[in-house]
Structure formats: structure tokens, C-alpha cells
């Protein structure tokens, strides 16, 4: 009986596809008893096909909202309000044609056949062209043309900024956008266009008031098919250990099962009132398509980053100057704690605000001001969103005793100060000149010379590549022995470092942004 009903449904939908699209809507609105009745009629008609019966279907062309006897189940008005504020974002780069490509085709074939070098191109031949390399989404946040998107949307391969960024509005009008600023640690970027009239803007909600189970919609430009809306719920909050962003970044994602696909990045996650509660950023998928695990940056974090990028061009972040780790059940037992909540101080950076405030390794931080600390990633996130110079009260447990210590936050903008001078060479990395004391303390062989790596903050983009005790021997093929030589050899873009560590040498590659 069930297979017959499915056959009837399939036939019914196939027949409906030949009629007005709204017929499909009427199917969704029919009551179960009506649907079974219709299905029975159609199934019966299969057995009388030889008589060519007249096709009879039930049609209803009313809008959902006008059907008084049924509850309103459409979110069309909400999407009509929010969708115009979502845009498509296209990133392009300037491509230099190769020597081979610029040669006339006939000469290419001839010289390739005989293995000869190609001739020089003619003077009037094209030398470069603009090539689209990425597509994503964005959200209009101000009438005068500020647009928020993801940092990775406006980058080209190897992490460099695009040479041209175009924005297409919901009415298909296109603009060339200017990059106002980008923050890779949160994957947020701000664009600016110069519209001739006021733009439709999104209303921004307080993402801190979200609850698991709230209905949400993802709006964006998936696979460049055009603006698309999908529905889901808030599946989880505060996802901070997903490893989606680069090392040293700040993750605090909203998880949703609303379908998010390639091209949705930078688009809007809105609530049932049409308000922005997040910027869609990433998915977990083995196929490249949505499997119901998507992540969005909360609107409160986005607004903080955007405001700073527009007003100052950077995102100032507070710094405690310590390396925290999560408490495992075994560590909690060892510290005689009844919970794994909190952040264990694994190391305190020399001369940091934490050391100056009296924090020691082995302390368990439970609160920053009135904010309860549940984990090490949350501690990093909370402090990073505070202004440098702010005085905070750090509540911690030390050997079973609860203490509250006042600490004045330092600044994460720039790197840790070296023992000799303030330097801003590798962000979050303490660099040390090698003298006799350091050589003895680290047991360095006499033939090892270079620049020593001291403390490396978890926030550093190089935290997974570099560690205390390493020695940078060469930078881009040139030997270095002082901070000045190291800084002189580093370049914007990719760099190769020859490293000595624990008796062996190896290469690492690091990338430096402009």
C-alpha cells in the first residue's frame, strides 16, 4: 500500500510540474486526508489509463498568508526585508600572460615542435588581464555603502588581497569596492562602495541572546547561482575549538544546520525577525557541499571588529601575557578541583601584564571581571575583545585559595617585547640575540648561530611552526645573527626560514601580510 502511495505522489508531482508553479505550493498546504484522497484518485486512474481519462488536479492560487483557515507558515515577508541587504562579492587578480601565451599561436606550435625558445612578443600585445578567482557574499551594514564579508572572500591564492573587488547588489547593480580593512584573526573584512542613493541595510541583533533551537536563515550567493535563502536552527553556540581559522585566531562560532555552501561565505545569518545575528563563514564537509554543519561569526564580534577597522584601521586587543591550557579531568583531580571549568596557567611570559599583576604558572583562572571562564580558548577570546590599558580583576584559584588580582592589560597589536628592545618583527614571537648566557642556558653548539626564538604566544600566527629554543639560522637563503638582519631579510609574502632545533636543521615557510 505504501509503495502505491509513493507512486501516486510521484505521478502527482510530475503532473503538477506541467502546470503553474503555484500548484506545488498547494500540495504543501493540503491536509493529509485530502492528500490521501487525491492520491487514491490518481492511483485509480493508472488502472484505467487505456480510457484516456481527463486529468483532474486540485489547484489553489492563493498566497499562504491569505488562507485564513491555516496558520501562517511563510517567512516571505521576513526574507523580503533582509535579502536586499545581502550582496554577491567577486575577487579578481591581475594575471600576467606567460611568455609562451603571448606568442602567436602559429609560432607557438612551430617552436614547440623543434624545441626552440619562443620569440619576444610584439610591443602592442596585451600584457595583463583581470581574472576572477573567488566568489562569496557580503552584507550591507550602512546606507552609505559599508559592507561586511569574510577576509578569505577577498583574498586570492597565497593569502594576498585581491587586485579588484566587485560587489553586485540584489538589483544586479555592480560596484567596484574598496577594501577598508581586514582582520584575519576573526576572518572579518570591511568593504566600501560609493552608491548614488541610500542602500538597504540589515538590522543587527544581539547575538548574545541567541538560544539553541532558534530559527535562522542563511542568505548568500552559493556557487554563484544568485541570492539564495535556506532555513535551519541554531544547533550550538560558542564553538571555539573547531580549528577552522588559522593558528592564533579567535573562534566563537554559531553552529547551524541551515544549508551553507561554497559562495555563502560572508553572507548573512538572520533570525526569524529578519535581523543579522551572524556572518556565515565555514562548513564541515567531506564532499564540499552542506551536510548540515555550518558556522557563523556572531554579530556582536563582527560589529566590534568592523567598528575598529573603520575607525582606526586595526583591531586593538588586550593582552594578559600568559599561555593557558584546558583542565583535563586528571589535572582537575591533581589540583583538587571538582570541575574542569577554568583555564590553567601553563606559562607566564616574562615582564608581561600577567607577571606584573602577580599571576603565576599553576593558577587556575575562573573569572575576568564578572565573566566566568570555562576554557582556555574562551579566556583568550574574552581578553582579546578588551581594550589595551584596561584594568581587569582576575579571579583565580591558587593552591585551593581563591584570589582576585588587578591586572592592567597590555596590547596584542605587535609582538612580545624582547629582552633588549621593543620589536615588531614576527607577531607574537619573542626574538632573542644569542649571547654566552643564552648559549649556555639552551646548550647551543658553538657552530650554531642566528636569532633565538623565545616565548611564542598562542595568538601568534606562527604558534604551530615555532617554539621556544629554536634558532633562526637563515632567512630566504641569507644567514642572520641579529634582529636587524632578520628584519631586513623578511619580505611581504612567503618566506623560507632555516631553523635549528634540538640538534637538527629544517626549513619552515611563513607568510607575512602587508
Q: Indicate the burial class of 188 (C-beta count within 10 angstroms; 0-12, 13-18, 19 or more).
A: buried
Task: Count Cα neighbours of 4 within 13 Å in the Cβ-side half-sphere.
Answer: 12
C-alpha grid cell, residue 104: 602567436
Catalytic residue among 85, 91, 187, 257: 187
DSSP-derived secondary structure letter, 87? E
Catalytic residue among 235, 265, 352, 375: 265
Catalytic residue among 152, 299, 384, 455: 152
d(CA 219, CA 139): 9
Cα angle 155, 157, 162 (rounded to 5 degrees) comes to 35
The answer to whether the beta carbons of residues 186 and 305 sit under 8 Å apart is yes
330 is a catalytic site residue: no
265 is a catalytic site residue: yes
d(CA 269, CA 252): 15
506 is a catalytic site residue: no
C-alpha R_g of the chain = 30
**Torsion sign (Cα): 346, 348, 349, 353:** positive
List Cα–Cα distances, 238 to 56, 89, 150, 248, 252, in angstroms. Answer: 53, 27, 19, 17, 5
The closest of 309, 303, 219 to 264, measured between CA atoms, is: 219
The answer to whether the beta carbons of residues 454 and 432 sit under 8 Å apart is yes
Strands 203-204 and 275-283: parallel
Strands 401-408 and 391-398: antiparallel
Block residue for cell numbers 557574499: 137
The answer to whether the beta carbons of residues 428 and 403 sit under 8 Å apart is no
**Which residues are catalytically annotated?**
152, 187, 265
Amino acid at each position: 500500500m505504501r509503495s502505491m502511495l509513493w507512486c501516486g505522489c510521484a505521478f502527482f508531482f510530475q503532473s503538477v510540474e506541467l502546470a503553474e508553479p503555484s500548484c506545488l505550493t498547494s500540495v504543501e498546504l493540503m491536509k493529509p486526508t485530502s492528500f490521501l484522497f487525491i492520491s487514491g484518485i490518481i492511483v485509480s486512474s493508472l488502472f484505467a489509463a487505456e480510457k484516456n481519462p481527463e486529468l483532474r488536479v486540485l489547484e489553489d492560487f492563493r498566497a499562504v498568508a491569505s488562507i485564513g483557515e491555516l496558520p501562517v507558515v511563510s517567512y516571505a515577508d521576513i526574507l523580503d526585508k533582509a535579502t536586499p541587504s545581502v550582496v554577491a562579492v567577486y575577487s579578481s587578480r591581475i594575471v600576467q600572460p606567460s611568455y609562451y601565451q603571448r606568442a602567436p599561436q602559429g609560432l607557438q606550435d612551430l617552436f614547440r615542435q623543434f624545441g626552440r625558445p619562443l620569440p619576444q612578443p610584439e610591443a602592442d600585445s596585451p600584457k595583463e588581464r583581470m581574472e576572477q578567482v573567488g566568489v562569496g557574499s557580503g552584507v550591507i551594514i550602512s546606507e552609505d555603502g559599508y559592507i561586511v564579508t569574510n577576509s578569505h572572500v577577498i583574498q586570492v591564492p597565497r593569502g594576498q588581497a585581491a587586485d579588484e573587488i566587485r560587489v553586485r547588489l540584489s538589483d544586479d547593480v555592480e560596484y567596484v569596492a574598496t577594501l577598508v580593512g581586514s582582520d584575519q584573526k576573526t576572518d572579518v573584512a570591511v568593504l566600501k562602495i560609493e552608491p548614488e542613493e541610500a542602500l538597504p541595510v540589515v538590522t543587527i541583533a544581539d547575538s548574545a541572546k541567541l538560544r539553541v533551537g532558534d530559527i535562522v536563515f542563511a542568505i548568500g550567493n552559493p556557487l554563484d547561482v544568485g541570492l539564495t535563502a535556506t532555513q535551519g536552527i541554531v544547533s550550538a553556540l560558542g564553538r571555539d575549538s573547531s580549528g577552522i581559522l588559522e593558528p592564533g585566531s579567535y573562534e566563537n562560532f554559531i553552529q547551524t544546520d541551515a544549508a551553507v555552501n561554497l559562495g555563502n561565505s560572508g553572507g548573512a545569518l538572520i533570525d526569524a525577525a529578519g535581523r543579522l545575528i551572524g556572518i556565515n563563514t565555514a562548513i564541515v564537509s567531506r564532499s564540499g557541499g552542506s551536510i548540515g554543519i555550518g558556522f557563523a561569526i556572531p554579530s556582536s564580534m563582527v560589529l566590534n571588529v568592523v567598528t575598529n577597522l573603520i575607525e582606526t584601521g586595526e583591531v586593538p586587543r588586550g593582552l594578559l601575557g600568559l599561555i593557558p591550557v584546558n583542565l583535563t579531568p586528571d589535572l582537575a583531580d591533581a589540583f583538587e578541583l571538582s570541575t574542569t571549568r577554568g583555564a590553567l596557567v601553563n606559562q607566564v611570559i616574562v615582564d608581561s601584564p600577567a607577571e606584573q599583576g602577580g599571576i603565576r604558572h599553576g593558577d587556575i583562572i575562573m573569572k575576568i571581571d564578572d565573566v566566568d571562564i570555562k576554557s582556555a580558548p574562551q579566556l583568550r577570546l574574552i581578553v582579546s575583545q578588551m581594550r589595551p590599558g584596561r584594568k581587569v580583576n582576575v579571579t583565580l584559584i591558587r593552591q585551593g585559595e581563591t584570589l582576585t588580582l588587578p591586572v592592567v592589560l597590555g596590547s596584542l597589536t605587535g609582538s612580545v617585547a624582547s629582552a633588549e628592545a621593543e620589536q615588531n618583527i614576527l607577531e607574537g614571537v619573542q626574538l632573542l640575540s644569542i649571547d654566552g648566557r643564552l648559549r649556555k642556558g639552551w646548550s647551543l653548539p658553538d657552530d650554531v648561530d642566528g636569532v633565538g626564538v623565545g616565548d611564542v604566544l598562542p595568538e601568534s600566527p606562527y604558534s604551530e611552526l615555532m617554539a621556544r629554543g629554536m634558532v633562526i639560522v637563515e632567512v630566504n637563503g641569507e644567514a642572520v645573527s641579529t634582529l636587524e638582519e632578520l628584519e631586513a631579510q623578511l619580505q611581504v609574502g612567503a618566506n623560507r626560514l632555516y631553523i635549528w632545533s634540538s640538534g637538527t636543521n629544517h626549513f619552515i615557510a611563513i607568510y607575512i601580510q602587508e
